[in-house]
Amino acid sequence: MGYTTNFYGEFKLNTTLDKNTADLIKGIATTRRMKRSIPILAKKFNISEELALLKFGIDGEFYFDKGDFCNFGQSEDSTIIDINTPPKRQPSLWCQWYYFETTNSIKWDEGEKFYNYIEWIKYIINVILEPRKYKVTGTVNWQGEDDSDKGTIAIKDNLIDIF
């Protein structure tokens, strides 16, 4: 049980994403976001904690295992601090903004019960895309189950307006 919201539209990128950035957005959108231990990730990958923090971000926010996509990244391992707490900068356990190469855009993946969608697109832009010099422009309308739950996310060159 939960609350469903539908989304219509897309956010276009100014240029095709490089493979690492595309994989990162897809990985985040495909897996449960769980707070992870940087020291344990460092040991797991035999790298320094400093390098692990650069590679995987705060609380492992950039970590995902492509081999666990079939389980939506929910397999438990020793790196997880709390399965029900997302990394500090991520707004929730699930992100459903997905990058589509065919349209060079970020769109809703059509999964049910997408919460914190405004915070998630802000996170994707501010933490992932803008530091890599990408620009996002587009409009997405949302409609929740309640008739009054509707609105628009309008983005132009990474500047976000909600109405």
Each residue's pLDDT tens digit, 2-57? 899 999 999 999 999 999 999 999 999 999 999 999 999 999 999 999 999 999 99
Tally Cβ neighbours within 10 Å of residue 35. Answer: 20
β strands within the chain, DSSP E: 5-13, 35-36, 80-82, 97-100, 105-108, 136-144, 150-156, 159-162
**pLDDT given for residue 2 in this prediction:** 81
Q: Is the confidence at residue 124, as pLDDT, over 90?
A: yes
Mean pLDDT to the nearest integer, 74-100: 96
Mean pLDDT to the nearest integer, 104-121: 96
What is the C-alpha separation between 134 and 148, in angstroms, rounded?
Answer: 34
**pLDDT given for residue 1 in this prediction:** 65
Q: Is the confidence at residue 70, as pLDDT, over 80?
A: no
Q: Where are the domains of the chain?
A: 1-33+90-163, 34-87
Mean pLDDT to the nearest integer, 56-85: 91
Each residue's pLDDT tens digit, 130-160? 999 999 999 999 999 999 999 999 999 999 9
